[in-house]
Amino acid sequence: SAVEGVAEIFNYPACDVFLLEEKDVLRYANITIDSKIMRAAEKITGVTVDGYMIKLFEGSCFKEVIDTKAPVVLDDMVRVFEGFAGGGPGLAKLAPIVAKVAGFKWVIRVPLLSNNRVLGILGAATNRDLSDIDLPSLELFASNLAVIIERKQMEDMLRESEEKYRLIVNSSHTGIYILQDGLFKFANETMCRITGYTREELIGMSFEDLIAPESRKVIAEGYKRQRGQAGPAYVEFKGLCKDGSVRDALTYSVPITYQGRPASQGNLIDITERKKTEDSLKESEEKYRSLVESSHTGIYIIQDGILRFVNQKLCEIAGYSKDELLGSNFERLIAPESKGVIAESYKRQSGETGPAYFEFKGLRKDGGLRDVISYSVPIRYQGRPAVQGNLIDITERKRAEEQIKELMELNENIIESAPSAIHFIDRDFVVQSWNSFCERYIHIDKADIIGKNLFEAIPSLRKLGWDKIYERVLETGTTFEKRGYKITRTFGPCKGEEWYQNLNVVPVRKDGKIIGAVTIIEDVTDLQQAQNSLIGLLEEIKESNKMLESANIRLHENDRLKSIFLATVSHELRTPLNAIIGFTGLMLQGRGGELGSEQKKQLEIVNSNARHLRALIEDLLDISKIEAGRILVEPAEFNLQKAIGEVAQLFTSKTR
């Protein structure tokens, strides 16, 4: 209406207002012109002016006004129309038609300035000559119009801001309130939803009514502690809802002026679920911390090559305390000979997102070396890239593996050097191992049978019933044993020969399941032949024993006859000897008359020899008893000198 008033007062056929929307864009905001002229021009061009945007460009009259912040007066309609080219071909076509129909002679462009800031351009067109008051009057009007435009823009901005604020407040997930004198003066929808009260119930209600009794002291101390501070006051408390339920809440407020008086505006957040989550997280963290600290695996976090976290197990493996490890370089735990391996592994696995596995020699604080394995994954730690890893001491496992390897090599050597054919088949009868004796005994090379079906490689074994033997062993898990049975070779260089062997088929179990069978074949041909020879020898010995028994019987009979003979002879001899001994004894005693010295000497010799003969007979009987085992010989002392004298006397008399 103000623009229309200016056009009417100064008799301008056209007045227009362009507002500066952006740095180089004008918006056609208002135009006053004879409606018949405008409709005719719009009908001819098919273009309407309302809301049209004009882009500024160098050389246009609009650009000159904006840049110089000074009016431009033009009687060159061509230059005037060139400015409309920034609005596109339609507006550039419409403007000259309107000017021609209206009969414009002069066009004035005046900047709309407020605090030296260009808000837009006021334009006027006349079909008469200009007077001295046209430009000053338009400048005065432009300055007043700029104030009106700026105020309207501010009102629009304030209204828009209020709408945005109202929308934000009411759609906020945070309870928003204003307190004055401890009473609610404003509360948004979320505040009502959290507390369970309607807005009408909250307005005028005391804030203390929303505080659980156990938290009122906390609230009072919190406000007292932060009294006088310019920043917001943060207080966490137990909130009391309308239905009597208690919710965990966090409020923070700032001092404001409300309706000319001091007040406070605050936000209230329902943190009940967050507290539950925090409690669960805390419990989870405690469990995680407990698991980490009680883990049998060393756990660490590395950031920029520096240890940021280690658990107790890692300290035990490395021999350091936590204080010694934290903040130190991870390389101190790597033996010199393994640093190149680690660097190469990291280089090889760079860019991979999965876990990185490394096996290396770990260096302890005391200088000892440990075999360790580490596997790590990239993580974010305190907002920055890091690596979390596990470290396992495998020293004992490596030793056990070496021992197992040695045992396996020993077992393999034992099997290879065994004087028996040993081979292993799986449940599909596929040969998995074949020792050297098998090669020599069965005449099939290891390379020609391993990985092949036993019965396809040696079909004749089916005829011998070996497939049934293996099936029974694999199904029942019982050992098959057959000793010393005779076979006739049906293949190989020894075909047709008869051999004797012992066969053992033993099931092999893994984790309680039968996975195959081991076959042990012993060649006992020589043993069997030796056994057959021994049996023949035993038969000969048996026959000899029979002959010995017969000879022994005859010997016993001869011995019996000898004993009878000796008894008879001794009886027949001892009787006359006893008479001789007795008679010579009487003669020597002088009972037959006195004897001369020579007679006496001769009788003593007769008596002595008779006694000696009787002793021989008794000794002969004693020897027979000794041989028969009826007398025990006991050694006894005797007078050797006397015995020698008696022997000498005996043989002296015989020589005479």
Domains of the chain: 2-158 (3.30.450.40), 172-276 (3.30.450.20), 298-398 (3.30.450.20), 418-523 (3.30.450.20), 553-650 (1.10.287)
pLDDT > 70? residue 570: no
CB 239 within 8 A of CB 194: yes
pLDDT > 90? residue 242: yes
CA distance 427 to 515: 6
- Residues 6 or more apart whose CB falls under 8 angstroms from that of 357 comprise 373, 374, 375
Q: Is 271 helix (H, G, I), strand (E, B) or coil?
A: coil
pLDDT band, residue 36 (cuts 50/70/90): low
CA distance 176 to 424: 82
pLDDT of residue 39: 59
Q: Is the dihedral of CA 471, 474, 478, 481 positive or negative?
A: positive
Structure tokens at 649: 């006397």
DSSP state of 49: -
Average pLDDT value for residue range 316-329: 93
Beta-carbon-side half-sphere exposure of residue 342 (alpha carbons within 13 Å): 19
Range list of H helices, 522-596: 525-588
pLDDT > 60? residue 491: no
Q: Is 427 helix (H, G, I), strand (E, B) or coil?
A: coil
pLDDT > 80? residue 387: yes
pTM of the complete model beyond 0.85: no
pLDDT > 60? residue 492: no
> What is the tens place of the pLDDT at every residue in 356-377?
778 899 999 999 999 998 888 8
pLDDT band, residue 58 (cuts 50/70/90): confident
pLDDT > 70? residue 435: yes
Structure tokens at 263: 């007040």
pLDDT > 80? residue 558: no
pLDDT of residue 115: 86
CA distance 494 to 445: 16
CA distance 622 to 633: 10
pLDDT of residue 320: 94
pLDDT band, residue 348 (cuts 50/70/90): low
> What is the tens place of the pLDDT at every residue in 500-548?
788 899 999 988 899 999 998 887 776 666 666 777 777 777 877 788 8
pLDDT of residue 91: 58
In whole numbers, what is the pLDDT of the chain averaged over residues?
81
Q: Percent of the chain at pLDDT above 70?
A: 82
pLDDT of residue 421: 87
pLDDT of residue 346: 61
> What is the tens place of the pLDDT at every residue in 90-116?
555 666 766 676 678 888 999 999 888
Match 């075999």 to its residue by tokens. 371
Q: Is 197 helix (H, G, I), strand (E, B) or coil?
A: coil
